[in-house]
């Protein structure tokens, strides 16, 4: 092994191979910054270029690209509150509040360093674990994978501190959303609303961006401020403070790196899950985290970023050892094995061991290069937080729309983005936790699929498996413990004096009733399906509806535990961002929120009329002029620069699809009058 590792580092030190590795790193950093794009797009883009390369250069370029997308995705997550990829959604919770406090440099410095440590740790784990883990992985089947999914789901739902019932309800809602589409067992169309768009499923990208990105942009537009408000942005000093934070909390970084690498080695546990589990682990184990997480605690940034970079090395373990992709990007990487005549399995641990260790070195070197490049430019990135809202908002929205459209290349992606943006903003305002919803959405299909596979293969005997029992016990403990603690702390068991006879009715009550009606209608339609198609929806939907009604009764008749009242009264947990309206009254907030929604709808309307690129130019011009009264030189320069950037990057380089103008779709004879860019 040591001899193979030595040969591999000598092979990868070839200047040409290092150049290919560096090219992959630069592409990965660029894709990570742009919301909606990520490792899968990069893998698909670079795969054709690997045909004429040797295996070392091919794997170096692809792994270099895939290893650093979760390094640069920190930049939009911290500066804009927009997750660059699904793996940085948890980073938003503490990274963005730090940017608002003028500590963007510190957050970025800590994130880059934690990503570097996590990435190198993941590569190290890959180097030493493949021969050891191979016999262990052979004993992990569908029951264990189901138990892992339930454990991750319950852990995050439980961490909706102060609102555990709402957290579990939203996790159930997320599972039901994941089940939309054609049932793979019976072919039953579940909640598709007679639209082709929903036949496959709701795509993850527009749902995630809608829940986490649109609400933060809306709040920025409502407050009419820059990202950092009036705070002073730190630069180099902030970066080095972030580096020091990593060494101060080194044991946390090591723990989450190990956790990310270990979970990455489990097929089906993707980046969208790992960072939430790591964030929840830090919340539960770090002293005083319950009071500070979600408000700008640097430990929250370290937990998320240390884990999501480590998962890349972990996901290579099943890919190399068994040919089972540990993630979606690893599935594309399997194509490179076939292109170069390599067979995943024992050969990769024997006669091709030098190729395996070349992959290890590629992951390690890519993380070092990616962190170094980000450090070199994070001083400039941090200053983005000072740009005025009317200037930066239309630019972010435009890139956000283009990224969301890559979910399934359908107009439904843009509609989904807006609808879930409204839902996410409403949940944020009313104190409903969003992370359990996205976790339920990510893991819903996994839970159903592995449940039926486990029952088909083992009957109900799989429930007696020791690993399954242990994980289910941990999941139950992870949820019931904070629930019991919440009940006991609020006196719900010992006394009923906190309850009142007159009900409280406000915006939260309306949202409760909306969800109850939504669950009831969904369950009504589910009763008409075949047994295998309706079993999981009825169980999950029924339990969620029961918990939702219990939560409504508790909210309606319980006296508020804080001086706030009305729609804003909430016991917000640390797993979500705070609302900052700068003292605005509710009517002003509602009016500005409606105006922001109108801008999003106007962008969609322009896209439908003339296509996305001309609509992008017009939208930036109109927004900057009407909302900010900016100088025309700045307006036209920004609009033209963004449009040309999107054209060359998305159209000429990435060859991504564009939303077709609706007149071109509805009236093909009008094509000659609508020029195509």
Which residue intervals of 406-465 are DSSP H helices?
411-430, 435-458
Closest CA to 345 of 324, 320, 328, 366: 320
Q: Are residues 502 and 602 in the same domain?
A: no
Among 519, 541, 557, the domain-final residue is: 557
Q: Are residues 18 and 101 in the same domain?
A: yes
Specify if 568 maps to a domain: no
Running along the chain, 677 residues long, what does each successive block of 10 average in pLDDT? 77 86 85 65 67 82 83 81 74 86 86 87 76 63 79 65 78 91 86 87 82 82 68 64 88 88 71 78 82 85 86 76 64 70 70 81 87 79 69 85 79 91 91 82 82 84 86 80 64 52 80 94 92 89 91 76 38 52 76 92 91 91 90 91 86 76 53 46
This prediction has a pTM of 0.72
Q: Are residues 119 and 194 in the same domain?
A: yes
* DSSP designation for 494: T
Q: Are residues 532 and 600 in the same domain?
A: no
pLDDT of residue 34: 65
What is the spatial distance between Cα 579 and Cα 584, in angstroms, rounded to a whole number?
11
* HSE of 523, CA atoms in CB hemisphere, 13 A: 17
Which strand (E) or helix (H) includes residue 181? Answer: strand 181-182
211: burial class by Cβ within 10 Å (0-12, 13-18, 19+)?
Answer: buried
528: burial class by Cβ within 10 Å (0-12, 13-18, 19+)?
Answer: exposed
Per the listing, tokens 């940085």 go with 88
Among 509, 542, 557, the domain-final residue is: 557
Positive or negative torsion for Cα 516, 518, 524, 527: negative
| Domain span holding position 624 | 586-673
pLDDT of residue 41: 61
Number of continuous H segments (helices) and E segments (strands) in the chain? 29, 2
Specify if 566 maps to a domain: no
Q: Are residues 338 and 227 in the same domain?
A: yes
Angstrom distances, CA of residue 411 to CA of 84, 406, 416, 607: 21, 10, 9, 10
What is the spatial distance between Cα 145 and Cα 228, in angstroms, rounded to a whole number?
42
Q: Are residues 551 and 595 in the same domain?
A: no
Specify if 231 maps to a domain: yes
Q: Are residues 81 and 160 in the same domain?
A: yes
DSSP state letters, 188-240: -EES-TT-THHHH---HHHHHHHHHTHHHHHHHHHHT--TTTTPPPP-HHHHH
Specify if 573 maps to a domain: no
Domain count, the chain: 2
Q: Are residues 56 and 126 in the same domain?
A: yes
Greatest CA span in the chain, whole angstroms?
77
Positive or negative torsion for Cα 192, 196, 199, 205: negative
- The answer to whether residues 260 and 306 touch, using CB atoms and an 8 Å cutoff, is yes
Specify if 543 maps to a domain: yes
Bridge partners for 558 per DSSP: 499
pLDDT of residue 167: 83
What is the spatial distance between Cα 78 and Cα 74, in angstroms, rounded to a whole number?
6
Specify if 351 maps to a domain: yes
List the structure tokens of 106. 């510190």
What is the spatial distance between Cα 441 and Cα 451, in angstroms, rounded to a whole number?
16
pLDDT of residue 670: 44
* DSSP designation for 647: I
Specify if 510 maps to a domain: yes
What is the spatial distance between Cα 134 and Cα 348, in angstroms, rounded to a whole number?
12
pLDDT of residue 676: 44
Q: Are residues 301 and 436 in the same domain?
A: yes
- The answer to whether residues 119 and 313 touch, using CB atoms and an 8 Å cutoff, is yes
- The answer to whether residues 257 and 121 touch, using CB atoms and an 8 Å cutoff, is yes
Q: Are residues 236 and 307 in the same domain?
A: yes
* DSSP designation for 577: P
Q: Are residues 590 and 541 in the same domain?
A: no
Bridge partners for 189 per DSSP: 182
Q: Are residues 600 and 534 in the same domain?
A: no
What is the spatial distance between Cα 311 and Cα 318, in angstroms, rounded to a whole number?
12
Specify if 85 maps to a domain: yes
- The answer to whether residues 381 and 95 touch, using CB atoms and an 8 Å cutoff, is no
């Amino acid at each position: 092994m040591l001899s193979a590792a030595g040969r591999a580092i000598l092979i990868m030190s070839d200047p040409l191979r290092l150049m290919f590795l560096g090219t992959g790193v630069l592409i990965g950093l660029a894709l990570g910054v742009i919301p909606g794009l990520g490792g899968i797009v990069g893998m698909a883009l670079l795969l054709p270029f690997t045909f004429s390369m040797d295996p070392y250069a091919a794997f170096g370029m692809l792994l270099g690209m895939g290893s650093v997308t979760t390094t640069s995705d920190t930049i939009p997550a911290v500066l804009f509150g927009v997750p660059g990829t699904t793996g940085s959604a948890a980073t938003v919770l503490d990274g963005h509040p730090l940017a608002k406090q003028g500590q963007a440099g510190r957050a970025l410095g800590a994130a880059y360093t934690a990503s570097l440590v996590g990435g190198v740790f993941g590569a190290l784990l890959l180097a030493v674990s493949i021969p050891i883990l191979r016999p262990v992985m052979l004993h992990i089947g569908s029951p264990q994978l189901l138990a892992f999914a339930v454990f991750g789901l319950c852990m995050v739902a439980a961490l909706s501190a102060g609102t555990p019932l709402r957290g579990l309800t939203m996790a159930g809602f997320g599972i039901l959303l994941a089940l939309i589409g054609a049932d793979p067992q019976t072919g039953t169309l579940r909640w598709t609303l007679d639209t082709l768009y929903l036949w496959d499923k709701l795509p993850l990208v527009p749902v995630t961006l809608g829940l986490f990105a649109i609400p933060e942009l809306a709040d920025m537009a409502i407050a009419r401020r820059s990202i950092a408000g009036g705070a002073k942005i730190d630069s180099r000093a902030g970066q080095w403070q972030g580096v020091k934070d990593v060494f101060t909390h080194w044991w946390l970084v090591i723990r989450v790196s190990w956790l990310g690498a270990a979970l990455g080695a489990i097929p089906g546990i993707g980046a969208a899950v790992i960072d939430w589990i790591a964030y929840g682990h830090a919340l539960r184990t770090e002293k005083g985290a319950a009071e500070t997480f979600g408000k700008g605690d640097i430990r929250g940034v370290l937990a998320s970023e240390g884990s999501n970079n480590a998962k890349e090395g972990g996901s290579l373990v099943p890919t190399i050892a068994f040919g089972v992709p540990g993630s979606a990007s690893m599935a594309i990487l399997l194509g490179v094995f076939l292109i170069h005549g390599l067979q995943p399995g024992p050969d990769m641990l024997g006669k091709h061991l030098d190729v395996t260790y070349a992959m290890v070195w590629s992951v390690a070197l890519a993380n070092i290069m990616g962190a170094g490049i980000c450090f070199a430019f994070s001083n400039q990135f941090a200053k983005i937080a000072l740009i005025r809202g009317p200037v930066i908002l239309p630019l972010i929205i435009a890139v956000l729309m283009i990224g969301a459209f890559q979910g399934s290349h359908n107009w439904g992606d843009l509609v989904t983005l807006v609808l879930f943006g409204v839902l996410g903003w409403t949940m944020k305002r009313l104190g409903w936790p969003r992370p359990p919803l996205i976790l339920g959405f990510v893991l819903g299909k996994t839970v159903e699929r592995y449940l039926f596979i486990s029952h088909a293969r083992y009957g109900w005997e799989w429930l007696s498996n020791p690993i399954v029992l242990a994980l289910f016990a941990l999941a139950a403990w992870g949820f019931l413990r904070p629930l019991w603690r919440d009940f006991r702390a609020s006196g719900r068991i010992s006394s009923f004096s906190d309850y009142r006879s007159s009900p409280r009715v406000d915006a939260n009550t309306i949202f409760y009733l909306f969800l109850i009606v939504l669950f009831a209608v969904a369950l009504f339609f589910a009763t008409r399906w075949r047994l295998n198609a309706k079993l999981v929806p009825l169980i999950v939907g029924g339990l969620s509806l029961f918990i939702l009604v219990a939560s409504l009764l508790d909210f309606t008749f319980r006296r508020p535990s804080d001086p706030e009242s009305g729609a804003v009264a909430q016991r917000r947990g640390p797993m979500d961002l705070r609302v900052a309206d700068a003292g605005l009254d509710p009517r002003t907030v509602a009016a500005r929120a409606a105006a922001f929604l109108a801008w999003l709808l106007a962008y969609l309307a322009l896209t439908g009329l003339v296509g996305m690129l001309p609509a992008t130019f017009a939208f930036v011009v109109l927004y900057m002029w009407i909302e900010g009264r900016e100088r025309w030189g700045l307006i036209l320069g920004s609009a033209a620069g963004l449009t040309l950037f999107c054209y060359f990057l998305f159209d000429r380089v990435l060859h991504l699809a564009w939303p077709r103008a609706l007149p071109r779709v509805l009236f093909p004879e009008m094509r000659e009058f609508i020029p195509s860019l």
